[in-house]
Amino acid sequence: MVPITGKDPVQKRIELISVGIWLLLCLASLLVLGRHFASGVFIGGVVCMINYQWLYRHARAAVTLTARQGRSFMARRYFIRLLTMGAVLYLLIAYAKVDIIGLLLGLSVIILGIMSYACFTYIFEGGN
């Protein structure tokens, strides 16, 4: 059994960078492209952050299980998360009429945060 501790410092940095990128994208899109696009970026970022935290909680719970139990637990949770996110995105696009490009940009904030952290680490800290 693995003891559960707080979040890894790297994960915390990635989350902070992602939030910073998200806020910057929201502000820039509001100033340049208008409220409709900016609301898409904002909502996409919220959905992305919720999905990321949901994944973190599932992974954290899975490490306390045996390997076989953890695998099936994560597989079930993956499909539940996938279906839920699909339904949420469908409702946002079909009924709330959220800007699709803005939504996609907002949904990308975690990936942008990971890439930014990786580039920063590689360039400025020598890959450590």
Residues 6 or more apart whose CB falls under 8 angstroms from that of 41 comprise 22, 25, 26, 29, 102, 103, 105, 106
Q: Give the max Cα distance, the chain.
A: 51
Residue ranges of the alpha helices (H) in 34-95? 35-62, 67-94
pLDDT band with cut points at 50, 70 and 90 for residue 5: low
Better-predicted residue by pLDDT, 64 or 46: 46
What pLDDT does 2 receive? 46
Banded pLDDT at 30 (limits 50, 70, 90): very high
Q: Is the dihedral of CA 11, 17, 20, 25 positive or negative?
A: negative
Q: How confident is the model at residue 23 (pLDDT cuts 50, 70, 90)?
A: very high
Hey, where are the domains in the chain?
9-124
**CA-wise closest residue to 107 among 34, 35, 22:** 22
pLDDT at 4 over 60: no
Q: What is the predicted pLDDT for the residue at 1?
A: 42
Please tell me the predicted confidence (pLDDT) of residue 115. 92
Torsion (CA) 107, 115, 7, 26 in degrees, nearest 10: -40
If you average pLDDT over residues 58-78, what whole number do you get?
79
Query: What distance lies between CA 115 and its chain's CA centroid?
Result: 13
Question: Which pTM value belongs to this model?
Answer: 0.80
d(CA 18, CA 76): 27
What local confidence, expressed as pLDDT, does residue 31 receive?
94
Task: Evaluate whether 58 touches 73 at the Cβ level (below 8 Å).
Answer: yes
Q: What is the pLDDT of residues 72-126, one digit of tens each?
A: 888 888 899 899 999 999 999 999 999 999 999 999 999 999 899 888 888 887 6
What single-letter DSSP state applies at residue 2? P
